[in-house]
Structure 1
């Protein structure tokens, strides 16, 4: 099939791109820890998979759900980690937005979230 044989294309012009599918509404709003965990699972490797977390834990707070991963115990605790770093996920109860935070303990991660989260913030030109 040549380019000009494709449906919706015009000879001599680039092919017609696929239709744009806009996002329909906000992210899903979790109503409990189980729903937050289901959303959070999409952002981590499968639990128990090689290199994946050994478990996911949900910490609910007033404006969101913090999802934290636990990792298997390493054989040599003095060895360098094979996958350093990591992240926590926060799912907003307000708009369903998913935010990534550093792998801090729960209290510190929630405190950081309060400092950086601004739901649909609209700033006026006079605000500084």
Structure 2
């Protein structure tokens, strides 16, 4: 099914609006909406949920939940692409690699 492509985003807020219109809102463990962050780079916007660090009953830090994805919104087309939940630089590098590869 073809993706309904909105107008290309000109700001991080516009990229976030595109993501919110296409994807479910991530939630925290208590059910409240997770804060969303947007990292702008030359050819897109990386949009991801921010989860607080958690600790166990003894105060030991706990790992982040497994899985998940971040979303990149292309600046030139408004197309959205999911990439694995990686550190920002790694996610952007993977997107660049995918974008250069022939389909």
**Which interval holds the TM-score relative to the shorter structure?**
0.7 to 0.9
Query: Who wins on radius of gyration, i.e. which is larger?
Result: 1
Q: 1:45 aligns with which of 15, 18, 25?
A: 25
Pair 1:88–1:50, CA change in 2 (3 A)? same
The CA deviation at 1:72 is 3.0
**Structure 1 stretches of at least 4 aligned residues deviating more than 4 Å after TM superposition:** 46-49, 77-81
- Which residue does the alignment assign to 1:102? 84
Pair 1:34 & 2:32 matched: no
Supply the RMSD in Å over aligned alpha carbons: 3.1
TM-score, normalised to structure 2, is 0.73
Query: Any unmatched runs of 5+ in structure 2?
Result: none
Higher relative contact order (CA 8 A, sep 6+): 2
Structure richer in strand, relative to its length: 2
Query: Any unmatched runs of 5+ in structure 1?
Result: 1-22, 123-128
The CA deviation at 1:80 is 6.5
TM-score, normalised to structure 1, is 0.61
Question: 1:1-128, aligned counterparts within 5 Å?
Answer: 26-42=5-21, 43-46=23-26, 50-51=30-31, 54-76=34-56, 77=60, 83-118=65-100
Structure richer in helix, relative to its length: 2
